[in-house]
Amino acid sequence: MTQARKTDFKKPQATKPICNRIAIVFDFDDTLAPDTFDELIKRLGLNVNEFRQQHYEPLKDAGWDHVAARFYCLIQESKRRKEKITKDYLIQFGQDLKPFDEVTEMFDRLQQKVQDINSGIELEFYIITGGFAEVVRNTCIAPYFKKIWGCEFHYGKNGEIEFLKRSISHTEKTRYLMHIASGEEQVDGDGRSFAYRDVSESQLHIPLSQMIYVGDGASDVPCFSVLNDEGGIVIGVYKGDTAEKWSQHIEVTESQRVTNLAPADYRAESELMRSLTLAIESLCKQISLRQLSKGE
């Protein structure tokens, strides 16, 4: 009787490269904490609605970019005041600013969820905001983020704000998504753009398909669109209104729609926390499946 031959079966290579990292990218104003522009106006002892109507809205009506208009308004206000708005003032403002309830606890909860599913996966947090980087970098939640990008002031010799040094517009936010993907230290520091589609997935720090973006408004729509195109997860948040009012105000197109829309509530059993947890679970299991295919 002929003896059956033994055949050595080898597991095929994984169909996709494995990246053991997930990124959650947050907007800041009205996503993790109250709007910093409005809160700063209040801290200066001014009426927010009056300040907007008298100083900000006329610039907007004259065609100013909204980020440039906000910064110009504050610079002009600082010039009018005896006590100037300084770098130290913004640092103290950031230290005093309170994030929404249980935002601080969110980070450890999500990290623990990742560890429970697959201890070999790293979870990284980032902020991309059109608000004040100096303020965000000095909040109590700043240490949880690998990188924080926002608009920057240039300061005078006495520390007072003088003009806008770095601006992050709605569309520029997507450039920082590419920066996270590339893992490079500089954002177009040499004047060259990062061509995401020209780089193999194995060379990426984190592919866009393994990113979760959380934002509250029109400034986040370009990021919604990019991640939708690349298979990432997009979560919209709103504060004080209904989901219907948010949708009417933002007016997203088909390609810009969010995976879920929830109130900016970070308590353990909230819809937003359930959404973030499910998003984490989904990405972790995809990575685990790739690891299984490769035999890790």
- Average the pLDDT over 125-151 and give the result: 96
Instruction: Considering only the C-alpha atoms of the chain, give the largest distance between any 2 of them, rounded to a whole number of Å.
Output: 103
DSSP 160-227: BEEEEEE---TTTHHHHHHHHHHT-SSSSTTS----GGGS-GGG-SS-GGGEEEEE-SGGGHHHHHHH
Q: Comparing 196 with 143, which gets the higher pLDDT?
A: 143
pTM: 0.88
Please give the pLDDT value at position 66: 87
Buried b (16+ CB within 10 A) or exposed e, 105-134: ebbeebeebbeebeeebebbbbbbbbbbbb
Q: Which of 92-96, 134-138, 236-240 has the lowest mean pLDDT?
A: 236-240
User: Could you read off the pLDDT of 67-102 as tens digits, one per residue?
Assistant: 899 999 999 999 999 999 999 999 999 999 999 999
Inform me whether the pLDDT recorded for 252 exceeds 80.
no
